[in-house]
Amino acid sequence: MTLDGSNVTNIGGDEEDVSINSVDDDVIVEAFDALKKIDDEREDINARSQAIFADLKKQGLDTKAARAAYMRFKQDEDKRNQFDQVFAKCCKATGVGYQHGLFD
């Protein structure tokens, strides 16, 4: 391969061979700018989410437990039931136990 990649084909493993020289630089710059914007937005969203969990921690809630509960809150019912079954099995298999009817 040359330093400029002129003999590189099959970018990204696509089945169709594409020479990297056929990709316009403006396309790459535009894509990277769009990705950067998404990353910046993600950083803002993550900071807002972390602030909410920090507030919960100030109220005395364990952050890891709150995050786990939130993950469960977002799951649809089928996935939640599957999670419960796998969680119980893993706890039983490893001997760590869990409280069956804690919130019933």
**Predicted pLDDT of residue 20:** 84
Among candidates 58, 62, 78, which has minimal Cα distance to 70? 62
Query: Do 98 and 87 contact (CB within 8 A), yes or no?
Result: yes
Q: What is the pLDDT of residues 63-101, one digit of tens each?
A: 999 999 999 999 999 899 898 889 889 989 999 987 877
Q: Which residue has the tokens 């169709």?
A: 16
Q: What is the mean pLDDT of residues 41-48?
A: 96
**Predicted pLDDT of residue 49:** 96
Q: 48-79 burial by CB neighbour count: b if 16+ within 10 A, else e?
A: eeeeeeeebeeeeeeeeeeeeeeeeeeeeeee
Assigned token pair, 53: 């969990």
Please tell me the pTM assigned to this model.
0.59
Query: Do 83 and 72 contact (CB within 8 A), yes or no?
Result: yes
Sorting pLDDT into bands at 50, 70 and 90, what band is 11?
Answer: low
